[in-house]
Structure 1
Amino acid sequence: MDFFNYKDNELYAEDIKVTDLVERYGSPLYVYSKATLVRHLKAFEEALAAKDHLICYAVKANSSLAILNTIAKFGCGFDVVSKGELMRVIKAGGDPGKVIYSGVGKREDEIEFALQSKIKCLNIESESELYKVEQVAKRLSLVAPVALRVNPNVDAKTHPSISTGLKKNKFGIAFEDALRLYTYIANSEHLQATGIDCHIGSQMTSGAPIIEATDKLISLYHQLEEIGIKVDHIDIGGGLGVTYNDETPPSPYEYLAAVIVRLKDIDVSIYCEPGRAMVANAGILLTNVLYLKSNSERNFCIVDAAMGDLIRPALYNSWMNIIPAVKRDPSDALEGSNANGTKLYDVVGPICESDDYLGKDRHLNVREGDVLAVRGAGAYGSSMSSNYNSRPLCAEILVDGDKAYVIRERQKEEDMWLNERIIDA
């Protein structure tokens, strides 16, 4: 459920017409619903209420300071993958003591900053990284709280580009190496094993893979217990999918129920790292229709949003729902439309790439000057945007009831080259 709905054939973000937002703030425009975000956060909290837990929102999904601040106010933790993300969390009012730090390529300065910030845990992804963390902790005269991110070799049944739990993926430590490395940690003066971690992929629409992975983590937990190593949490990662088209992912309650059953008699906290499931359907991307163009093969709906604003369709061939801001009656249709008043369009952007599209083969009743909304754009939309073709980054708006707040100003063209220099040579 989200709070982007039609009222009298006009799309609203909570209590505000989206066309009013475009008129006021311009296009392309990211719009987020605070009520939707809070509802999704509470769903995870309630799903884990029966067990001691920590929800660590995956910052990479959407790193807006306003989004992070909203989440932090509910006592949520955070999963970060860079020094910059950790700094964002702190700037947004997040508690570093509720931060876990993942990622396969942590630099030494990033490790140092994380330890000095007193984060909850570093998720270790390679043997070499473990030794580097130990060296940094020794230099700082600290004890580093760590968990091994084990690779359970479980197929998440998702897109290959966002699958992370197989042996062929770069992520995590081989399951068969974990016991030896936990023993090393136990014997180190500057490392402390606080948990076991895994993350097997994103946009999972079945709970079966996470159950399989959890069973492997429990097996490792008992092996550690047998040799006297006690950890305080098991981190099952994130990856719960959302509905973009016809997917039917389980709810957080359904997804986590089997995990809680398996861990209910084990003296550990459950950590989880939802990102997409919390923010995807809390955001839309609004875009103006610039031109309608047809040739003998295709109809093109050319809009002012581009792959630089929302790269998922071009990068992953992801399907995202595209809907009109104002629904037209089928009787108000262009020549050549079907009985429903729609024509088949490729919705494409202005960037000079053939793969610059938001959606292909979409049935739309649309005119030049109309506004379209791309649903599910709250995750991996703004956070993956770029200045390709020297296009400024979009403005972003957070709606709370009948109020709209600018949470990122639209970038000006001249801001794009502020850090560049012309040499005199």
Structure 2
Amino acid sequence: MTTRPQTADVIVLGAGIIGVSIALHLQERGKSVLLVDRGEPGAETSHGNAGLIERSSVIPYAFPRDLKTLLAYASNRATAVRYRPATLLRMAPWLARYWWHSGAGRLDAAAQAMLPLIEACVTEHARFTEAAGTAPFMRGDGWIDLYRSSAALRDATAAAAALESHGLAYEVLDRDALREREPDLHGDAAAGGVHWRDPVTVSDPGAVTRAYAALFVARGGRLAKGDALALQQDGVSWRLPAGGQTHQAPEVVMALGPWSGDLYTRLGYRFPLAYKRGYHMHYEPASGALPRHPLCEAHAGFMLTAMTGGIRLTTGIELAERDAPSDTRQLDAAERVARQLMPLGRRLEPEPWRGARPCLPDMLPVIGRAQHHEGLWFAFGHAHHGFTLGPVTGRLVADLLTTGTSFITGEPFRPGRF
């Protein structure tokens, strides 16, 4: 006797912050949703980030254009960016496209496309805060960029002033003001900083994602473990075995982050997806010393922030294959700089966590209906802003899937642009 499949309106593949948020928004619009992941919600990239909801990041992370920075990165001794030489050769065409899209006019266009998402990122997270019980994780006092030299601080001050039209709240801190705001910094650790006041930060991004998933389940949503690669199209619907049953739905949303390529290539799609890997490690506070705000060491490209698991150091960019073995040299170099900034105790994990940020060369995610399959939707490639843009991406996908329109146009993110 053949068991009839369990039905849903939509299957969402991936229970990171993007997928969980899409599931919640679809649920709010009356859709029955099955959320599927091979592991626990928020256990991958949504767990390992710096916990920033980056309202102030109105300019995408572009490819550097100045010769001094390029030479520093090319040496492969910079702390902010490291690369595997063999990977760099394979990525050369992708990097060339990234460099091209980072030109002034094209970067401005990317910033304008992303701006509505960035402007709504804090309020879209906030719509779930009370119901999900995540208020204890949220901190509304922004984060601080640190600069080691007076010249770097002057340049950063000018760059912040150039964003005046965006109405961002920030303060330029000289050495004394920075020490007052961050009393546990070593005396001469930095010449000053820029305190961005608009972002919200969280003390446990993985726990926030799990809380959003628990809210989805509490509201009647179904969460099951399964392998997204088992997805099959069956006429006008999609089938997937998960949780010991076969499930069927007319719509499926792929929100698999850095693993999206494993599935979309099997379906015949080609996107220029690459990975900026990163590491984190937690440290025991030394003599009670803690960062009062998340601190970004601007030159070395790492974040230092107090988390529920200890003081988390999150590294910059490693250009390497997604699943290549870990290389601790970047983390070790960042740790040496971090210990110059403030006291850090012992490492709290035997090995660093490693994740991969999925990136497209035009610095925009892929969000929208697939070109060649009925009922297939994509939502991946958020680069450095996955945690920031989870809920607002959920709103955009749910709007487009249910009504075809949203509070912003989805045109810049359409899959067919590649």
Higher helix share: 2
Q: Give the shorter-chain TM-score range.
A: under 0.3
Q: Which has the larger radius of gyration?
A: 1
The alignment's TM-score, normalised by the length of structure 2, stands at 0.25
Higher RCO (CA-CA < 8 Å; seq separation 6+): 2
